Amino acid sequence: MDLHRTEDPGIGTSFERPLERLMAADGSFRVKRVGGSSGLREAFIWLVSIPGWKLVLVLLCAYGSMNFLFGSVYMLIGVEHIGNANGATLVGRWTSALGMSIQTLTTVGYGSLYPNSPLAWAICSVEGMFGILGFSLISAILYSRFARPTARLAYSEHALIAPFKDGWSLQMRMANRRSSILMEVKVRMLLVMADVDDQGERLNYYNLPLQIDKVSFMPLSWTLVHPIDADSPLAGRTHAELKDRRAEILVIVMGIDEGYMQSVYTRRSYRHDQLRWGARFARAFGSKDGMMHLYLDKLDETMPVEAPERMLAPA
């Protein structure tokens, strides 16, 4: 019996076709939901959770689309319903229609352009309501993003098969990007491999015990070390075997952010092709002017070492 084999953590053990990987490198699960209605609440959670550059892109596209939509409505009813509109050319009419829409949607008030008919006032009242609701939604999204505690950990791009004491180990490195300290940090590491048994191909999960799985503070980098001993699920494995069995290493980190005094979670995945077989990490921190210095740009810096083809436990 394999003492390190563990139960399915909630991902699944059998699929009709092989999976490329279970988890993206950034820790997000690779799941595409098909069917059903997501609803406004799910859309809000999505906007709160996506990266900042995507949020800016979505908001700019939504803002431009709304102005184009209502600008088209003003063009449809005729720019003669807009006071001081330039109706001499097509470009002038579009400029007046879009300018009217921008003024109304942003609720900044009317300047040289203004509605001069009941129909135009009716359209402006609807657009103004969309503007108030839209900017209220943006405020709620920004507040939720800033108020929600998150861990900003930097991870090495690769996991290593590296020397450790008299043998070898699986290692990866992480560091806190923020100036606030993470406290009571705990880490769990899992190995996922596709195994073939009498029931066909199945995904099996193995615990990878760490040399140290908990620290009280993490001001500098932390190298996670799984010693490859006789009981390790990696004992006797080769790099080619890990590739054939689509090995993937999942790292789950939990800690307490001192700024929010709340628990934060983060995940990371390393696939077999992100494993450097025979390397050691270069030092990513040092002292200067009596202070500790952490060099985040050196987090993935390694030095090659000669490693055996098969990971044998130390005698």
Round to whole Å and give the CA distance between 78 and 123. Answer: 12
87: tokens are 């109706």
Task: Please name every residue paired with 271 in a beta bridge, in sequence order, or none if there are none.
Answer: 248
* pLDDT in the model for residue 313: 63
Average pLDDT over residues 54-80: 95
* pLDDT in the model for residue 310: 87
φ, ψ of residue 259 to 5 degrees: the values are -70, -40
Round to whole Å and give the CA distance between 250 and 8. Answer: 13
Round to whole Å and give the CA distance between 114 and 116. Answer: 6
Mean of pLDDT over the chain:
86
pLDDT in tens, 176-225: 887 777 889 999 999 998 876 666 678 889 999 999 999 998 877 889 99
Task: Tell me the CA distances in angstroms from 167 to 143, 234, 242, 274, 280, one per residue in order.
Answer: 50, 13, 19, 21, 13
Which residue is associated with the tokens 């003024």? 103
CB 25 within 8 A of CB 250: no
177: tokens are 């990007």
* pLDDT in the model for residue 1: 43
Of the two residues 61 and 144, the one the predictor is more confident about is 61
Average pLDDT over residues 122-127: 94
* pLDDT in the model for residue 292: 80
At 46, is the pLDDT very low, low, confident or very high (cuts 50, 70, 90)? confident
Is the pLDDT assigned to residue 258 strictly greater than 90? no
Instruction: Give me the torsion for CA of 288, 299, 236, 227, rounded to 10°.
Output: 40
Say which DSSP state 54 is in: H
* pLDDT in the model for residue 17: 67
Round to whole Å and give the CA distance between 189 and 250. Answer: 6
* pLDDT in the model for residue 172: 94
Query: Do β-strands 275-277 and 159-164 pair in parallel, antiparallel, or remain unpaired?
Result: parallel
* pLDDT in the model for residue 116: 93
48-52, 60-64, 149-153, 270-274: segment of lowest average pLDDT:
149-153
Residue % of the chain over a pLDDT of 90: 50
Round to whole Å and give the CA distance between 297 and 295. Answer: 5
* pLDDT in the model for residue 178: 79
